[in-house]
Amino acid sequence: MTHPILALQGTLVAALRGDTELAALAPVFDAPPNGREPPYVVIARHDVLPRDGDGTPGHEHRVLFHAWATDASRKAVLAIAERVVAVALGADLDSVSLIVPLRRHDRTDTAIDGGTGRARAAVAMTFFTEPTG
C-alpha cells in the first residue's frame, strides 16, 4: 500500500507538471532543487493527519508550495502561485490508491527574500483523501 503522502503528492506533481500554462511560467519539483535558479515551484511541506470517519478511513493533507520568481516581482510570483492554485483545485487528483473528495486553498503569502532579492509566494492548501479500497 502506498503511503497517502506519496500517493497524493505523485498525482499533484504530475498534474502541475502537465499544465502547459504553468510549465511556461516555472518548472515544478516535489523536493527543493539543488543549485537551481528560479523561477520554480516546490512542495516545501506535506503534512498528513488521520481523519477517519464512520467506518471510512481518511487523511487531511496540508501542503505548502513555495513559488520563486527570478527577481523582486510580486506580480511574477503571484502569476505562478495563482496557476498552482488553479491547477490544484481543478485537476483530477484521484489515483489507484486514493480519491480526493475535498480540496481547499487556505492562503497565499508573499515576501521579498532579503538574501537573494527574489520574490517568493507561499501557497497553503488542504486536501482530504480516502483510500479507494
Helix (H) or strand (E) holding 104, with range, is strand 98-112
pLDDT band of 32, cuts 50, 70, 90: confident
The yes-or-no verdict on residue 1 having pLDDT over 60 is: no
* pTM for this entry: 0.94
Pair 63, 7: CB distance under 8 Å = no
Q: How many CB atoms neighbour CB 111 within 10 A?
A: 12
* pLDDT for the residue 52: 78
The yes-or-no verdict on residue 133 having pLDDT over 90 is: no
Tell which residue, 8, 4, 128, 125, has the closest CA to residue 67.
125
Domains belonging to the chain, first-starting first, are 4-72+98-131 (3.30.2000.30)
Q: How many CB atoms neighbour CB 93 within 10 A?
A: 22
Helix (H) or strand (E) holding 55, with range, is none
- Tell me what the mean pLDDT of segment 28-50 comes to: 94
DSSP state of 118: -
pLDDT band of 23, cuts 50, 70, 90: very high
